[in-house]
């Protein structure tokens, strides 16, 4: 422990604290901009300056370790003027079209300017030439909004272990961009969108598909069906002021109905379907000498990571399409048949916590008879915007249920949205199949939680199944290096591209750096999903009555010819 004085108040804090953290203990919220806890702690933006007795210049508190006897002042005229000037200089070079900005209301720079009382910009300099890179299906980079904080650079490099974005050029011309001025569409970017979530402003954002969806909703020719990913319900409420980790499943359904979708279905149903297909694929590979370890294939960021960086492991990927793609394929076949609809007139919208899904839906290898499974992907953030644009009073909505058939899901389906969830769901089904009974122990807690690499051994009947779970591609790389070197004996591995899994996907509501200092959003949002799991009547995918029905009436058996045609694919590097 270390004792120091901040603004005349004595405080005792752990010796590994920074002055920024110590100030919080006395109720002082030092402003920050480039700081992102655990990810970008570089003291570059000079917004968190403080005066330290005995030091000649002002110090960046986010990287300043506490010392015994230190005397710190956070609110002197010198500090206030310096910070204000710094932010004014940032604003002078910033595209200040705040009213028409995608981040209007969620921008950390906008908030900071307001808090600091900046009412005019004294220096109006020449602005950098703007680059707008909107060539990918997932991400837009707009340099006119970039403040060079480096948060995206750090997350891509350190959390994802990739390093697509970096500072390019020098001095006034400095930009954050992929190397050699490439578009993000041409760089080996996995579109995870973790850089979007790290961005305090609107320099990085998802490629919007809202207009496309509004148009479809108004087109009388189209039957517009929506499905929601598991993780969306755990975060959408944040956009309407609810605490992080509030589950809003019922209100989300009600809002989608009021937006005018013809049917509101749940990707969770398709998650159950995935478990049937993937679980039996695993059993088949184990029993018949197929390629092991089998690796999950539902996270499109991870699929791209595998293709770019671990092409040797492509045959290890499960051949299953991701759940929302399976849902699309089922809607344009079985559902079309049941309702006498022309598959070409069915417009499928997926609400996803993910930016990579926007690109996934465009993949050629996921089409059936030339038809895309999914026509539009909206992020959780985009859905919130549409609800606001339609002036639906979200908080006052009743809780409503998904529509029949494809709105039926089990607890296994809902936990897909958290790291370890796909594995746990698979084990619940695989264990029952191997044991030939309805096992009572269904919570595989060893694969839950946010530890980077998790392992478990499951003994069922006379078999031992060895599994691993990783999330965030830097963690994945550590494990995959061993797999590639033949040093592991896992049967099954779950990989999610984003740290924490889908709950922390690149399409989820923005959480500012201040909140991230106090709350681990991955943990809070995951809790909401495990809570919903416990509330479900059925918690194993094979118990879903609609899953039974679709196999009886349409697909036959898991991994049948029909199932392969619609629900499986093959990736190549
Ligand atoms: Fe996920 Fe999914 S669980 S990838 O993490 O598998 O995005 O939430 O929708 O498709 O179900 C994301 C979340 C999904 C899919 C499902 C899977
Ligand atoms: Fe890096 Fe992911 Fe952003 Fe691409 S989308 S630049 S891989 S963080």
ipTM of the complex: 0.93
Residue 144 has a pLDDT of 95
DSSP single-letter state for residue 44 = -
Residue 367 has a pLDDT of 96
Alpha carbons 538 and 414: distance in angstroms, whole number = 11
Among residues 266, 261, 264, 263, which one has the least CA distance to residue 217? 261
pLDDT at 160 over 80: yes
Span from the CA of 26 to the centroid of ligand 2 (angstroms): 37
291: tokens are: 């390629």
- What does the pLDDT look like over 203-216, one tens digit per residue? 999 999 999 999 99
Residue 13 has a pLDDT of 98
- What does the pLDDT look like over 340-349, one tens digit per residue? 999 999 999 9
Average pLDDT, the chain: 96
| Residue identifier of the C-alpha nearest atom 15 of ligand 1 | 323
Question: Dihedrals φ, ψ of 69, to 5°?
Answer: 80, 0
Q: Can you tell me the mean pLDDT for 544-572?
A: 96
pLDDT at 170 over 90: no
Residue 253 has a pLDDT of 98
| CA-atom Rg of the chain in angstroms | 25
| Cβ burial 163-194 (10 Å sphere, 16+ → b, else e) | ebbeeeeeeeeebbbbeeeeebbebebbbbbb
Q: ∠97-196-418 over CA atoms, to 5°?
A: 140
Q: State the CATH architecture for 211-567.
A: 3-Layer(aba) Sandwich (3.40)
Q: ∠14-19-20 over CA atoms, to 5°?
A: 110
* CB-count exposure of residue 26 (10 Å: 0-12, 13-18, 19+): middle
Residue 127 has a pLDDT of 78
Span from the CA of 321 to the centroid of ligand 1 (angstroms): 11
Domain boundaries, the chain: 2-91, 93-119+128-206, 211-567
What class, spelled out in words, does domain 93-119+128-206 have in CATH? alpha beta
Residue 129 has a pLDDT of 82
Residue 122 has a pLDDT of 81
- What does the pLDDT look like over 74-103, one tens digit per residue? 999 999 999 999 999 999 989 999 999 999
254: tokens are: 């009600």
Alpha carbons 254 and 259: distance in angstroms, whole number = 9
Span from the CA of 473 to the centroid of ligand 2 (angstroms): 10
Cα 473 to Cα 7, 446, 502, distances in angstroms: 42, 20, 13
- The residues, any chain, with a CB within 8 Å of residue 66's CB and separated by 6 or more, are 2, 4, 13, 15, 17, 18, 19, 22
Q: SS3 for 224?
A: strand
Selecting from 3.30.70.260, 3.30.930.10, 3.90.1330.10, 3.10.20.740, what CATH number does the domain 2-91 have? 3.10.20.740
Among residues 264, 329, 268, which one has the least CA distance to residue 540? 268
Alpha carbons 228 and 234: distance in angstroms, whole number = 11
Q: Can you tell me the mean pLDDT for 46-56?
A: 97
Q: SS3 for 469?
A: strand
Residue 317's pLDDT band (boundaries 50, 70, 90)? very high
Residue 121 has a pLDDT of 87
Q: Can you tell me the mean pLDDT for 554-564?
A: 98
The residue to mutate among 494, 502, 522, having the most atoms of ligand 1 within 8 angstroms of its beta carbon, is 502
Q: Can you tell me the mean pLDDT for 157-162?
A: 97
pLDDT at 171 over 90: no
Q: Can you tell me the mean pLDDT for 502-508?
A: 98
Told to judge if 357 belongs to the known catalytic residues of this protein, a careful annotator would answer yes
pTM over 0.95: yes
Q: SS3 for 27?
A: coil
- What does the pLDDT look like over 99-158, one tens digit per residue? 999 999 999 999 999 999 999 888 777 777 889 999 999 999 999 999 999 999 999 999
Residue 172 has a pLDDT of 81
Lowest-pLDDT choice from 64-73, 117-126, 438-447, 448-457: 117-126
Q: Which residues line ligand 1 (CB under 6 A)?
A: 229-231, 267, 271, 298-299, 322-324, 352-354, 357, 416-417, 422, 501-502, 505
pLDDT at 257 over 90: yes
């Amino acid at each position: 422990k270390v004792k120091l004085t901040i603004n005349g108040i004595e405080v005792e804090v752990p010796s590994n604290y920074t002055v920024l953290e110590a100030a919080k203990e006395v109720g002082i919220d030092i402003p920050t901009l480039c700081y992102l806890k655990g990810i970008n702690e570089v003291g570059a933006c000079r917004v968190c300056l403080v005066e330290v007795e005995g030091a000649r210049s002002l110090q960046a508190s986010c990287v300043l370790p506490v010392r015994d006897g230190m005397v710190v002042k956070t609110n002197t005229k010198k500090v206030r003027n310096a910070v204000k000037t710094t932010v004014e200089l940032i604003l002078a070079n910033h595209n200040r079209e705040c009213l028409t900005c995608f981040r209007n209301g969620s921008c950390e720079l906008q908030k900071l300017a307001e808090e600091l009382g900046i009412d005019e910009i004294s220096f109006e300099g020449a602005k950098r030439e703007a680059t707008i890179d909107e060539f990918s299906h997932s991400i837009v980079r707009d340099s006119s909004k970039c403040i060079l904080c480096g948060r995206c650079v750090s997350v891509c490099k350190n959390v994802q272990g990739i390093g697509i974005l970096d500072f390019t050029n020098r001095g006034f011309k400095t930009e954050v961009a992929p190397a050699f001025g490439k578009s993000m569409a041409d760089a080996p970017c996995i579109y995870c969108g973790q850089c979007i979530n790290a961005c305090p402003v609107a320099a990085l954002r998802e490629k919007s598909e809202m207009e496309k969806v509004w148009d479809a909703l108004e087109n009388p020719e189209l039957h517009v069906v929506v499905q929601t990913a598991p993780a969306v319900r755990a975060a959408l409420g944040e956009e309407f002021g609810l605490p992080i980790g509030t589950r809003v499943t019922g209100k989300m359904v009600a809002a989608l109905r009021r937006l005018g979708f013809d049917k509101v279905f749940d990707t969770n149903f398709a998650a159950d379907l995935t478990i049937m297909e993937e679980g039996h694929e695993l059993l088949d590979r184990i029993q018949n000498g197929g390629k092991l370890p089998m690796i999950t294939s539902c996270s499109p960021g991870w699929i791209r990571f595998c293709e770019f960086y671990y092409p040797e492991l492509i045959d290890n990927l499960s051949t299953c399409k991701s759940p929302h793609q399976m849902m699309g394929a089922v809607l344009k076949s079985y559902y079309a048949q049941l309702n006498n609809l022309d598959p070409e007139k069915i417009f499928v919208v997926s609400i996803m916590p993910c930016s990579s899904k926007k690109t996934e839906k465009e993949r050629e290898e996921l089409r059936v008879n030339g038809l895309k499974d999914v026509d539009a992907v909206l992020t959780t953030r985009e859905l919130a915007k549409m609800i606001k644009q339609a002036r639906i009073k979200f908080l006052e909505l009743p809780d409503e249920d998904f529509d029949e058939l494809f709105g039926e899901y089990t607890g296994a389906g809902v936990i897909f949205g958290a790291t370890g969830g796909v594995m746990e769901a698979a084990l619940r089904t695989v264990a029952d199949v191997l044991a030939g009974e309805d096992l009572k122990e269904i919570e595989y807690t060893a694969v839950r939680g946010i530890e980077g690499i998790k392992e478990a051994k499951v003994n069922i009947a006379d078999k031992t199944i060895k599994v691993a779970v990783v999330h965030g591609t830097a963690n994945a790389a550590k494990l995959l290096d061993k797999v590639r070197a033949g040093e592991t004996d896992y049967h099954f591995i779950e990989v999610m591209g984003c740290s924490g899994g889908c709950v922390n996907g690149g399409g989820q509501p923005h959480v500012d750096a201040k909140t991230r200092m106090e709350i681990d959003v991955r943990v809070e949002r995951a809790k909401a999903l495990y809570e919903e799991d416990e509330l479900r009547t059925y918690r194993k995918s094979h118990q879903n009555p609609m899953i039974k029905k679709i196999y009886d009436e349409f697909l036959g058996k898991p991994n049948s010819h029909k199932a392969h045609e619609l629900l499986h694919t093959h990736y190549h590097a």
